Amino acid sequence: MQVDILNKEGKKTGRTIELPEEIFGVEPNNHVIYLAVKQYLAAQRQGTHKVKTRAEVKGASRKLHKQKGTGGSRKGNIRNPLYKGGGTIFGPKPHRYEIKLNRKVKDLAKISALSTKAKENSIIVLEDLNLDAPKTKQFAGILANLNVNVAGRKTLFVLPEYNDNVYLSLRNIPTVDSVMLSDINTYDIMNSNYIVLTESAAKIFTEEPVEA
């Protein structure tokens, strides 16, 4: 897959990069994408929800009245779930939501997500940025030149390694997020309308296999 390398003005530099077809040109498998996104979202849940049962709520344990002879219904103690302040029946308990996926499934999901974006022409390769200081206005201008800073459109900026100036420049732009290539996941890819790869990050695809 041949992609033009753009400069900060959004114009072609005259250079191109060949992105491997085995990563950006496969037939997307939507089911594994679904599984990977489901796993990611499930892992974000803390699972600390908890309610008190009748054994844990405050209240006396004595029987309210005798079993027979009152003309009323049978009753246990005041912690009965049928009473206000009583315990909760079958309420949530703390548990983990993690879902296990095999390594090959996660790799296929990531490759399918990248191929989906490639088919949509949503992958942009930008020459490496060398920002002397954090400048949100300057960074927003670069995104505007790339025609990705559109209202309601999300952009994922992919770097080969952490760059403090770039991160501080984009963190106040609500529709833009950054990630290191080694940390990219299927959810981040599918949750973005555009993927902007720096030239150095794009070259890694031609050198090393993608890791989950």
**Which CATH number characterizes residue 156's domain?**
3.40.1370.10
Question: Which conformational region is residue 147 in: left (phi greater than 0), alpha (psi within -120 to 50 degrees), or beta?
Answer: left
Please give the share of the chain, as a percent, with pLDDT higher than 90: 69
Whether 152 shows a pLDDT value over 90: the answer reads no
- 111 and 190 belong to one structural domain: yes
Q: Tell me the CA distances in angstroms from 152 to 39, 147, 175, 176, 192, one per residue in order.
A: 25, 13, 7, 11, 10
Sorted by sequence, the CB contacts under 8 Å of residue 188 that are 6+ apart come out as 156, 177, 179
Asked whether 166 and 118 are in contact (CB, 8 A), the reply is: no
Average pLDDT score over residue span 3-8 = 89
- 163 and 88 belong to one structural domain: no
Q: Residue 182 phi/psi, 5° resolution?
A: -70, -20
Residue 52 lies in a domain: yes
List the domain range (segments joined by +) for residue 24.
Answer: 2-29+99-206
- 150 and 185 belong to one structural domain: yes
- Long-range CB contacts for residues 18-23, cutoff 8 Å, separation at least 24: 18/206, 19/118, 19/123, 19/202, 19/205, 19/206, 20/205, 20/206, 22/111, 23/111, 23/114, 23/115, 23/205, 23/210
Per residue in 14-61, pLDDT (tens digit) is 888 999 999 999 999 999 999 999 999 999 999 999 999 999 999 999
- 113 and 193 belong to one structural domain: yes
Whether 132 shows a pLDDT value over 90: the answer reads no
Residue 70 lies in a domain: yes
Residue 110 lies in a domain: yes
Q: Residue 50 phi/psi, 5° resolution?
A: -160, 135
Residue 212 lies in a domain: no
Residue 114 lies in a domain: yes
- 82 and 119 belong to one structural domain: no
Residue 36 lies in a domain: no
Burial label for 44, CB within 10 Å (0-12, 13-18, 19+), is exposed
Counted domains in the chain: 2
Where would I find the H helices in the chain? 21-24, 30-43, 103-119, 136-145, 164-170, 186-190, 199-207
- 138 and 169 belong to one structural domain: yes
Q: What's the whole-number average pLDDT of the chain?
A: 91
Whether 208 shows a pLDDT value over 70: the answer reads no
Q: Residue 43 phi/psi, 5° resolution?
A: -70, -20
Residue 90: per-residue pLDDT:
94
* Count of positions (residues) in the chain: 212
Whether 211 shows a pLDDT value over 70: the answer reads no
- 91 and 104 belong to one structural domain: no
Give me the amino acid identity at 135.
Answer: K
> Among residues 96, 111, 135, which one ends one of the domains?
96
Residue 41 lies in a domain: no
- 53 and 106 belong to one structural domain: no
Q: Which two tokens stand for residue 157?
A: 């900026």
